[in-house]
Amino acid sequence: MKKFIISIFALLLTSCTAVYFDKPEPEANQRLKEFPESWIGTYKPKKDTSLVEIGKNYIDLKVFGSRQKFYLCDTMFLKKYKEDFYFVNVEARDKDCDIVYWRIFPVKKEKNKLYVYDIMYKPHLSDVFKKYGISYKEIVGKSLVISNPSDSVLDILFKKRIFKVSQVLKRIEK
């Protein structure tokens, strides 16, 4: 089930390798039990035939004729970041299910669209992290885990465009 939760966003966001966080982010902020009222509705990804329905406390995916509903819980939850941003935190585990990592997807709503951000792995990322003093470690494959980022580190990830829009979801019905 946990691995399938990760596949929610894998279907929406294409990335060969990933950047994870060692803790949910932003760490100090409280988990929210519901999605913002303004997010509730049905969305269509810009370059896709799938549908994404966001309810009060769930995401319902309709992809390639199948349907899966995922609720905000211990393995997927929402935290407010700053003014317009929320972070969807999705649990991921290593291949032995021993170590928990977190995929973080910042989401910003503007008018009738949700902009979903992600960190796309690129070989130079470790150099950028070193330059700005961002603590990280490499894990199997070409994946990185960012350790204990402060709000200022999260700000750097946005300002230096390390977090980039990976998917635009357009609302098609309320």
pLDDT digits (tens, 9 = 90+) for 134-171: 998 887 666 788 988 888 888 888 888 889 998 999 99
Residues in Cβ contact with 146 at an 8 Å cutoff, skipping those fewer than 6 apart: 19, 20, 21, 22, 129, 134, 135, 136, 153
Instruction: Tell me the two tokens of residue 35.
Output: 């999605």
Beta pairing, strands 41-45 & 136-139: unpaired
φ/ψ of residue 3, rounded to 5 = -65, -35
User: 3-state DSSP: the chain helix, strand, coil percent, rounded to 5?
Assistant: 15, 45, 40
At 98-139, the pLDDT tens digits run 778 899 999 999 999 999 999 877 778 888 889 988 998 887
Cα–Cα distance between 146 and 22 in angstroms, integer?
Answer: 6
Q: How far apart are the first and last CA of the chain?
A: 29
